[in-house]
Amino acid sequence: MRINLSRKKIRNSFVDKVQELSGQNLLACYQCGKCSAGCPAVDEMDILPNQIIRFAQLGLKEELLASKAIWICASCLTCNARCPKGINIAEVIEALRQILLRNRKDHLKVEKLSDKEKEDIPPIALICSMRKFTS
Amino acid sequence: MKICYYPGCTLKNHAKNFEDSTICALNTIGVEVEELSRWNCCGTVFSLTTDDLIHHIAPIRNLIRVKEANYDKVMTVCAMCYNTLKRANERIKSDPESMDILNNFMDREEVQYDGDVQVFHLLEFLKDEIGFENLAKKVVKPLKKLKIASYYGCLLVRPKEIGLDDMENPTILEDLMETLGGKPVDFPYKTECCGAYQTVDRPDIIADRTNRILTSAKDRGAEMVVVSCPLCAFNLDQRQKHTVEKYPEFKHIPVLYFTQALAMALGCPEETLRFDLNFIDPKPILKERGLI
Ligand code: SF4
Ligand code: SF4
Ligand code: SF4
Ligand code: SF4
């Protein structure tokens, strides 16, 4: 992957928005990698949790908002539990999803679920999925 | 003793076995359960973004209902309800400004909410109010050293401020299973997420996790797994169908709500255990041990 860094990106409003929505100080991260080491979802992720934090520090908005990883994270909070700097990584990932969802970029296409699926899947899963993946 | 109970939606349908076994178990030990006469879905997940106050309304309204029913405590059984109600409560208690905003928004509510309801889980109640040593005396059908792996998932233990036991190595479920005469089996995946709501559009991911979690439990000798969350139950039990399609060498294992094991040991009749709602039938192994 080719990544362009610039002072402009690092200082753009996207970084502020992520910090504000997540309530986290991105610069506290020293890239130890513990969050990714404990994350059960890394097999499926294109950008790992520690990389998400690094990308966010650097204002790499396009890469983050196009990533698969932010939709694979299930907010299990293992990363938060393990971070030695007390950073809530799951909150940062939630902020990224919210930036897309608040622009009506839904991830789950409810209309594509069959009647059979809607019947078999318990409400707890459907409500959860809609809360996380739709606006 | 009488306690106020918030069931949540799934215990009224897919997880009726969770509810019926809970109520029978509590009644058997002399605890009366009063369900809130009016309640709404808690929303299942706690909103993680700082400015998203609106989604805390659903859980907080339920706590207002508790006050209206003249209680200052409410019991949850579903791990997700527990987490969402308790976290929303803590969130607004620690931030009086957001509490005012919510109260102003809910201007048709007759009761003002001040964070004065306590949310507790059935497991905490059994351990702290009843006491496992007292519970042991009520066991009429000990589980005959049935090897049981306890799966906590995420929401009973994380985040730390909300969790009802040690975040990395909880033992409350194992302690309960031992109290009931079972043999707890420790395994490394007991707090590893099952994939949760990914089950809706990515059942393939759930198959991977279920394979990993349950195979690990079985490798350690478990004959069954107990859970406390209807979503964990769906992923670990019902989704074994997808798991075996993806991993043909995967071997089925029954997954029960911990309350089904509890109610069974306390001698509740089989119709309250509702094993018909469990996907992998636990009856053969239970019959083999003479438990049903
Ligand atoms: S665990 Fe914390 S400090 Fe370490 S890489 Fe992850 S976010 Fe950064
Ligand atoms: S919350 Fe998301 S990123 Fe963190 S460990 Fe769980 S799945 Fe991984
Ligand atoms: S978490 Fe579930 S079961 Fe619990 S109330 Fe909320 S939606 Fe319903
Ligand atoms: S459904 Fe999975 S996500 Fe919920 S608590 Fe259960 S383990 Fe975590």
Kindly report the CATH number assigned to the domain that includes residue B98. Answer: 1.20.1050.140
Question: Within this chain, do residues B114 and B148 fall inside the same structural domain, yes or no?
Answer: no
CA distance B144 to B181: 6
Residues of chain B short of pLDDT 50, as ranges, are: none
Chain A residues touching B198 at Cβ < 8 A: 72, 74, 129
Task: Read off the pLDDT of residues B236-261 as tens digits, 9 standing for 90 and up.
Answer: 999 999 999 999 999 999 999 999 99
Q: How many domains is chain B partitioned into structurally?
A: 2
Q: The complex's ipTM?
A: 0.95
C-beta separation of B132 from B172 below 8 A: no
Candidate of A24, A26, A32 to mutate for ligand 1, largest count of ligand atoms within 8 Å of Cβ: A32
Task: Read off the pLDDT of residues B109-147 as tens digits, 9 standing for 90 and up.
Answer: 999 999 999 999 999 999 999 999 999 999 999 999 999
| Structural Rg of chain A based on CA atoms | 16
- Indicate the residue type of B182: G
Give the domain extent around B28.
2-122
Find the A70 Cα to ligand 2 centroid distance in Å.
Answer: 9
Residue B27 in 3-state DSSP?
Answer: helix
Contact A91 B51 (CB under 8 A): no
Q: What pLDDT is recorded for position A1?
A: 72
- Distance in Å, alpha carbon of A42 to nearest chain B alpha carbon: 11
- Indicate the residue type of A76: C
Q: What pLDDT is recorded for position B13?
A: 92
Find the B230 Cα to ligand 4 centroid distance in Å.
Answer: 9
B95, B122, B149: which is the final residue of a domain?
A: B122
C-beta separation of A26 from A91 below 8 A: no
Encoding tokens for residue A92? 């940062």
CA distance A64 to A53: 10
Share of chain A above pLDDT 90, in %: 87
| Structural Rg of chain B based on CA atoms | 19
CA distance B179 to B156: 20
- Is residue B109 assigned to a domain? yes
Residue with tokens 């066991």: B139
Question: Within this chain, do residues B97 and B158 fall inside the same structural domain, yes or no?
Answer: no
Encoding tokens for residue B194? 């099952």
Give yes or no for A42 touching B (CB within 8 A).
no
> Which CATH architecture describes the domain A7-103?
Orthogonal Bundle (1.10)
Find the B70 Cα to ligand 4 centroid distance in Å.
Answer: 32
Question: Within this chain, do residues B166 and B52 fall inside the same structural domain, yes or no?
Answer: no
